Amino acid sequence: MIAIGLDLSLCSTGCVAVPSSFAADTDWTTVRHRLVTSAALPNGASVRERTGRLLAIAATITKWIQAGPVDVIAIEEQAFRQGLAHSREIGELSGIVKAELLALDLPIVMVTASAARKTLLGTVPRSGAKDAVAATLRKMGAPWTDTDRSDAFAVANHVIGEHGAPCVMAGRVAA
Beta-bridged to residue 108, according to DSSP, are 73
3-state SS, residue 31: coil
For residues 41 and 69, which has the higher predicted lDDT (pLDDT)? Answer: 69
Q: 109 to each of 98, 101, 158, how far by Cα in Å?
A: 10, 11, 11
51/70 Cα distance (integer angstroms):
27
User: What does the pLDDT look like over 18-54, one tens digit per residue?
Assistant: 999 998 888 999 999 999 999 988 888 899 999 999 9
Say if residue 165's pLDDT is above 60: yes
User: What does the pLDDT look like over 79-136, one tens digit per residue?
Assistant: 655 455 567 888 899 999 999 999 999 999 999 999 999 988 887 778 888 899 999 9
37/166 Cα distance (integer angstroms):
31
- Domains delineated in the chain: 2-174 (3.30.420.10)
